[in-house]
Amino acid sequence: MALVNEHFLKLPGSYLFSDIAKKINTFRITHPKQDVIRLGIGDVTQPLPQASIEAMHKAVDEMTQKETFRGYGPEQGYDFLIEAIIKNDYAPRGIQLGHTEVFVSDGAKSDTGNIGDILRHDNSIGVTDPIYPVYIDSNVMCGRAGILEEDGHWSNVTYLPCTSENDFIPQIPDKRIDIIYLCYPNNPTGTTLTKAQLKKWVDYALANDTLILFDAAYEAYIQDPEVPHSIYEIKGARKCAIEFRSFSKTAGFTGIRCGYTVVPKEVTAATLTGERVPLNKLWNRRQCTKFNGTSYITQRAAEAIYSPEGKEQIRQTIAYYMTNARIMKEGLEQAGFTVYGGVNAPYLWVKTPGGMSSWEFFDQLLYEAHVVGTPGVGFGPSGEGYLRLTAFGEREDCIEAMKRVKRFTI
């Protein structure tokens, strides 16, 4: 008798984004003429950089001739892309990476979800709270998160609250945790850590033999030179951290799928008998067995963002989104809201007014300002009392949304 993985059944039945979709549908049925501005979902809206477009046309044409046709590529990604990544994303920051330390993939969601394959099911995990739900859900699926307790916490997960009370700086735990997820710039709060703050985490990890899973998907949005783009800017991180990167928000690749994961040769984890095992070798084996590389055409598009033209094009698009963020932040503050993030990240984290719950504020914003955000509580217990807005919309929508928000608060 085939048996299911019962850990899946522990996951709550409904999704944050499907609950939101239902509420929007209900609104639309009752208000058929009212247009709604959606600033909730974290998808980009601007076209791909022209350099990537040209690279993809060229790559498509290569597929028409057997002399230039590309079949299976390396599971780890093509050398041309790995070289461009090392040369442009790491070397200028003084980080030396070997070719076999970078694994190109179809995106950071896959990699942050699948990384658990190489780790024991009973490691304890720690997450900053609120967080990107994939970290928790993928751990629930393999039993690592434990069971869902009545207060909404998972029994084997240590939650590190990040709220306005601690300036969104997670406190270093007073106990050993096997695996810690950090995402900086943070989704959903849009906040960052300085080098000094991140160093405390690396020191904690080295002292406690903790593995840090560092999600840097939004690093391209960092404006402040004090904010590290990579955890490997911190000494010792090569021994304790795996870093995830994505082209989704850097270059608008949400629809064409590319990201990469760095697993330095020095990062190890232990067997029960204490033997140290390099995780690079295990991740390589995982990818070679259960993944077959990402599209050649997409990899050429990714390579192209590192050309001088590509760099300038993504700089402009990021500036566009960050101008959105500034307009929204200023608009919200003028309307009397307290807003976090939006300076080194494309996310704004808005404190709900008057002690409202996340969902109450969501409803009020939808019904009175016709603007859609994402309830903060959907990202974890410490997200209660906040709402996330993203800067990935159209400029005119952001401006119009701020007008509505101001009218609604008067």
* Residues from 334 through 373 that contact a second copy (CB under 8 A): none
28 interacts with a second copy by CB under 8 A: no
Alpha helices in 291-352 (DSSP H): 296-304, 308-334
Least distance in angstroms from the C-beta of 337 to a second copy: 27
Cβ closer to a second copy: 333 or 394? 394
35 interacts with a second copy by CB under 8 A: no
38 interacts with a second copy by CB under 8 A: no
Q: Which of 29, 30, 33, 65 binds a second copy (CB under 8 A)?
A: 65
What are the b/e assignments for 357-378, b being 16+ CB within 10 Å?
ebbebbeebbeebbbbbbbbbb
Cβ closer to a second copy: 304 or 343? 304
291 interacts with a second copy by CB under 8 A: yes
Specify whether the CB–CB gap between 392 and 45 falls below 8 A: yes
348 contacts: CB under 8 Å, gap ≥ 6: 190, 325, 328, 329, 332, 339, 340, 341, 342, 388, 389, 390, 391
Place of tokens 């085939």: 2
Cβ closer to a second copy: 41 or 327? 41
Cβ closer to a second copy: 86 or 211? 211
What is the helix (H) or strand (E) element at residue 281, kind and residue range? Answer: helix 279-290
Residue 321 to residue 308: CA distance in whole angstroms: 20
53 interacts with a second copy by CB under 8 A: yes
Q: Which of 25, 34, 47, 338 binds a second copy (CB under 8 A)?
A: 47
Residue 155's alpha-carbon distances to 82, 126, 148, 205, 323, in angstroms, are 39, 11, 6, 21, 41
> Hey, what amino acid is at 95?
I
Residue 242: which of 275, 287, 293, 273 has the closest Cα?
Answer: 287
1 interacts with a second copy by CB under 8 A: yes
48 interacts with a second copy by CB under 8 A: yes
Residue 41: which of 25, 20, 15, 14 has the closest Cα?
Answer: 20
252 interacts with a second copy by CB under 8 A: yes
106 interacts with a second copy by CB under 8 A: yes
Specify whether the CB–CB gap between 104 and 82 falls below 8 A: yes
16 interacts with a second copy by CB under 8 A: no
Q: With CB under 8 A as the contact rule, which of the stretches 28-36, 51-59, 185-193, 359-367 interacts with a second copy?
A: 51-59
390 interacts with a second copy by CB under 8 A: no
99 interacts with a second copy by CB under 8 A: no
Q: With CB under 8 A as the contact rule, which of the stretches 30-38, 108-116, 339-347, 361-369 interacts with a second copy?
A: 108-116
395 interacts with a second copy by CB under 8 A: no
Cβ closer to a second copy: 69 or 407? 69
Least distance in angstroms from the C-beta of 308 to a second copy: 19
Tokens of 314: 């993504």
73 interacts with a second copy by CB under 8 A: yes
Which residues from 162-191 bind a second copy, rule CB under 8 A? 176, 178-179
Residue 172: which of 132, 138, 126 has the closest Cα?
Answer: 126
Residue 264: which of 83, 103, 73 has the closest Cα?
Answer: 103
CA torsion 93-43-185-343 (nearest 10°) is: 100
Least distance in angstroms from the C-beta of 392 to a second copy: 9
Cβ closer to a second copy: 35 or 72? 72
